[in-house]
Structure 1
């Protein structure tokens, strides 16, 4: 059994009361989960202060309290104080689990759009290459072939270290993970040794949390600032913020791109609804992906694989075998020849990219009908912009509910409608019920038309008034198509 001294290795702290030889049960930062013999780390979150729950942790049996203040009553428990408990939590969890990332080749993917696709495709590619790998993503967590349900884009420090420990135990060599701006800002990735970092792009998102675009950028940049010299930093050469990410990094700097000079170059030769023919570093590769944005995603996957030491001649044929990730430009076809595309696009730029992808492959004879909403209790400023982007590249638009959460759906839709110019208002419908909105889009569509259902992608629920109800866009579309 580990002791308090073991889990504090490499951390500056002060022992206020107790002994460093005290045995450690489990690490917790939620007082409700504390059991006898556990360590309670009091972290200051965005809504609550863990220091307020120290009495509850003591009542539940915590024998060690780690806090930022010494003026807390801990009874007979040990009290450790340090400067930043949120950052220390990751280090403590890593020490508790034997620093698993030291035994893995961990690659983190950050940016506004593309994180899930890139991390998931890297995982799938490395499995195909004969490696054992793990995945931490928005959709699912994988330890080798074993699947676990995902709770966050990037889980908390305790979950991350526990998952990585399971990966090491299962014999995994690689771990591919999404790294969200929230996770970087909240130090959830502290204690992880990264071998590589990938930057996709930076656009309007999460300003409800970060408040300004500058702070959002700063959070992403912090990830690259902290990469070790032995790691690689792979960025999008065609993204204006790519170079900003690299300004202070010690890591080896590499880039992928379609337009600018880059270490890994791509040219799109043919574009179709069911795939693209790409020239990757001069070699032609057929892929099952549509849209220029997916060409960038595939280049990030390819570049990372090469930087991790894989052979080009093995990687390229396997890239042609990869398939789209759940809820990312997934195509469904009706018996009478209508097409529906389900995509997670929930930011203005992501929606623009998907609609651009559709525009690139449409003949012009078909309608594009877009069904889109915006999430409640999130950044309100992007709502009118989302509607504006949808209207610009669609023949018809249906504004509907996404996950209204605790907000009134009609008000969210009204916020979106503010972005619709009067002269195009006639091509916009507002239908609160998402299923009815999708049904209406399917009824308006004729053979060959393309229906984009955006915003929820892989999600199989709709959150209304804080309650999650089963709702899957793909299931709904399939049901309507087959009626």
Structure 2
């Protein structure tokens, strides 16, 4: 996958990032250092093989410079450093090793984005669904396409060397295009430095990841970074979102807006939605009003790539469901069960409003949800408030408590419930038991929303990562309680 090249080739191929100073090993010259063979690049010393360029990136807990000696012992031929180290190996001195890593990785792997149509999707909610819809349209219109993101790996956007390696793999395997989620962490941490997108999409911005960014302003600034010329040619922006309008007014690249006003005759149901877009009827097998904006984002992005609008509309009408996104669980029970990834106040509100709109007659809305541990604590009471105001029955439970006490997380979430709504809220820290309680309480015509984990198949409690899939658990409980088969 990596064509063996010299350090000189790598440095000459770098297209951006901080200034670089080449430091030859003791007694060497610049020419001899430039002749050093580079076979791979990493910022993880455990991955070093002979000929690896090891990037000494300062981290949140440890500094990569601390592992440089071990990397050299394992065969690293070059070090990317922020300070010169007393090691007899070629070193490239930079002011920002994290940013420089992405640019260097792109060069090491031969700039794979040059051979691919690239679409990036960023925003608080809707990234996964939008990216998958874009991927489907690209495939349906004849482009071999890969989708990177939440459903394909542990992190929404991997570290720069892993990202460039994956993109090079797509290029070498004959792919034509990549649609990928671009997280705020990735933008803030330089993981997409060296990548470039033909089109990037901004879905919306709400409260999330403030444990990392600190403020909504810094969170938005990280997202907005994608809409600069070094990363993106054309931006597609949701101007119904207040931060989308701000981005539309301030970004320096060409932007294409999208808005609910672009659509006519919108019809939304629990498992599908349809509308007329640019004179063409589109029917998408995804329920919920929020998915209208996701499919519209995908349509606008694909049209911005130059794909015929009639082909876009036809492709969207054949799009498959996205795992864990308003996904129905049907065991024949006389009420609806939906599993969704909604894990932010805005996301939960959108999901609950969509569920409410889909209920028939006297049907109630029942929600089961929790808040993740070791994450933004301030959103917990906000989530409790949203759930209590918009659902008829609320079961607050655990999500992924991680290192925190599940009971404390549940209690913090419950504290956001207004006094007038406390009667509709119960707490049960065991997620399986909580889901069972919600299902047992459901009556014909009700909708049960199991929110927060969506596609995830594990639950992290302390140091344990345990099997747990909301969809599978719901099916098992429906069978155990004999709630299927129309009973």
Give the TM interval when normalised to the shorter protein.
Answer: over 0.9
> Is the deviation greater in 10-19 or in 295-304?
10-19
- Whether 1:38 and 2:38 are equivalent positions in the alignment is no
In the alignment, which of 70, 81, 87 is matched to residue 93 of structure 2?
81
Cα contact 2:146–2:178 (8 A) shared by 1: yes
* Structure 1 CA distance for aligned equivalents of residues 375 and 117 of structure 2: 34
CA displacement at 1:276 relative to structure 2:
1.9
Cα contact 1:402–1:455 (8 A) shared by 2: yes
Deviations 1:334-383 (A, max 9, x none): 32312111000000000000011112221241111100000000000000
Deviations 1:133-159 (A, max 9, x none): 12111101xxxxxxxxx1210111011
Residue 318 (structure 1) aligns with: 315
Residue 16 (structure 1) aligns with: 23
Higher helix share: 2
Q: Which residues of 2 match residues 32-431 of structure 1 at below 5 A?
A: 32-70=46-84, 72-74=85-87, 76-140=88-152, 150-227=153-230, 231-259=233-261, 265-431=262-428
* Structure 2 CA distance for aligned equivalents of residues 357 and 216 of structure 1: 26
* Structure 2 CA distance for aligned equivalents of residues 34 and 313 of structure 1: 49
CA displacement at 1:14 relative to structure 2:
1.2
Deviations 1:426-445 (A, max 9, x none): 21111011000000111001
Residue 30 (structure 2) aligns with: none
CA displacement at 1:228 relative to structure 2:
6.1
* Structure 1 CA distance for aligned equivalents of residues 194 and 462 of structure 2: 37
Deviations 1:450-483 (A, max 9, x none): 1000000000000011221000000001111222
Cα contact 1:225–1:246 (8 A) shared by 2: no
* Structure 2 CA distance for aligned equivalents of residues 27 and 449 of structure 1: 54
* Structure 2 CA distance for aligned equivalents of residues 427 and 280 of structure 1: 40
What TM-score, normalized to structure 2?
0.93
Residue 144 (structure 1) aligns with: none
CA displacement at 1:8 relative to structure 2:
1.7
* Structure 2 CA distance for aligned equivalents of residues 459 and 363 of structure 1: 29
Aligned length: 466
SS at match of 1:118: helix
Deviations 1:254-277 (A, max 9, x none): 111114xxxxx1135322222123
CA displacement at 1:421 relative to structure 2:
1.6
SS at match of 2:38: coil
CA displacement at 1:25 relative to structure 2:
2.9
> Is the deviation greater in 388-397 or in 123-132?
123-132
* Structure 1 CA distance for aligned equivalents of residues 245 and 193 of structure 2: 24
Residue 453 (structure 2) aligns with: 456
Alpha-carbon RMSD: 1.5
What TM-score, normalized to structure 1?
0.94
Residue 29 (structure 2) aligns with: none
SS at match of 1:139: helix
Cα contact 2:359–2:445 (8 A) shared by 1: no
Cα contact 2:102–2:191 (8 A) shared by 1: yes
